Amino acid sequence: MNRIKDIAKKANVSAGTVDRVIHNRGGVSEKTRVKILKIIEENNYTVNPIASILASKKKFTIATLLPRATSNNDFWQSPKEGVIASADEIHSLGIDVLHFEFDQFRPESYIEAFYKLLESDPSAVLLAPVLHKETIEIIHLLDQKKIPYVTINAETEGLNNLSYIGQNSYKGGYLAGKLMNWVLPPNATILIVEIRKNIDNHKAITNRIKGFKAYFDEHKKKKSIQHITIDQLDNENFVNQSLATFLEEYPQTKGIFVPSSKAHHIAKSIQILKRKDIEIGGFDTTPQNIDFLKNEHIDFLISQKPYQQGYEGIKLLFNYLIHKKEPLKNYFLPIEIVLKENVDYH
């Protein structure tokens, strides 16, 4: 038996007093406080979290702020699923998780969702700061209210976030470089396809490209690396045209690196152009990407483990709120290589 009662008896005080000491609620003389702490120490007593949660009326709520998944194919579906799975596990432990979503291409919807989130007065927040500028502008409201927050997916500097959970984008690109080098013959030309213009917020993509190039630099593989940017991804003809034009100009192109989750668009065009000799590598195992991985028009994908970002993020906040467990500042998730041969166990 090692209950609050037992500690109390050993200290010749009541359970209430011990409780006050444990929770730093004051109203206890320094003398008895020290005595009780010593006895707690000696008996290495710890509160029974089960009883504690039951007795405590205070309900914790964690709010999440993530881009809305526009379809089941969307990248953002996965973090959401991870969040929900984690939330389910801790729901019975008195934690509620509220979801707030925004349109990642409409900054104003981000701000709007953020304010709604604030109104819910959460105990903690999980957010994906993909809109960098806006995040910097409003994040101080969380600091001000002393609401702890964890960021996922987008590494962002200058935040007082409790932790970041996600991938090291540079290393992800670097690994992509290695894989691309593996699958390509010597002296091939590589094309890097960027998708949107002026996306100041997608630092991750920039870092991936840096990492990708760094691999070739460091290994003295003198490959020609070209860039194009394709804006109108939804316009299939436009994509085909852009690629066809490029490939005419650079016939030695044997590899295409897509540093975003949109490799499947490129793979589709390459399929239409009947260029079986071109290897494609990209990021994120969305259903569409997986389709092209399976039919061998995409050679490799690198997963950011988005599900885990959501899952671990919620779990971390739970441990912080309930068990007062101080997390690390950064949790870099494994950089997972997904090929046709292992995608099914992914």
Partner DNA sequence: GTTTTTTTCGTGTACGTACACGAAATTAAT
Partner DNA sequence: ATTAATTTCGTGTACGTACACGAAAAAAAC
Q: Does 182 bind a copy of itself (CB under 8 A)?
A: yes
Partners of 126 in beta bridges: 64, 150
CA distances from 299 to 131, 272, 311 (A): 30, 17, 28
Pick 60 or 212: Cβ nearer DNA = 60
Residues with Cβ within 8 Å of 117's Cβ and at least 6 positions away in sequence, in order, are 63, 65, 98, 100, 125
CA distances from 61 to 51, 99, 300, 329 (A): 19, 10, 39, 22
Site residues (CB under 7 A) for DNA? 1, 3-5, 8, 12-17, 19-20, 22-23, 25, 27-33, 47-48, 51-52, 54-58
Provide the sign of the torsion angle of the four alpha carbons 105, 107, 109, 114, taken in this order: positive
Pick 13 or 338: Cβ nearer a copy of itself = 338
Q: How far is the CB of 325 from DNA (least distance, A)?
A: 15
**339: partner contacted, choices a copy of itself, DNA, none (Cβ within 5-8 A by kind):** a copy of itself
Using CB under 8 A, which residues numbered 84 to 103 contact a copy of itself?
92-94
DSSP state of 325: P
| Distance in angstroms (rounded) separating the CA atoms of residues 98 and 47 | 28
| Distance in angstroms (rounded) separating the CA atoms of residues 39 and 50 | 22
| Six token digits for residue 324 | 């007062």
| Distance in angstroms (rounded) separating the CA atoms of residues 178 and 253 | 17
Q: Does 136 bind a copy of itself (CB under 8 A)?
A: no
Q: How far is the CB of 55 from DNA (least distance, A)?
A: 3
**182: partner contacted, choices DNA, a copy of itself, none (Cβ within 5-8 A by kind):** a copy of itself
Q: Does 336 bind a copy of itself (CB under 8 A)?
A: yes
**330: partner contacted, choices a copy of itself, DNA, none (Cβ within 5-8 A by kind):** none
Give me the residues that bind a copy of itself (CB under 8 A), please. 46, 48-51, 53-54, 92-94, 167-168, 171, 174-175, 178, 182-183, 215, 332-337, 339, 341-342, 344-346
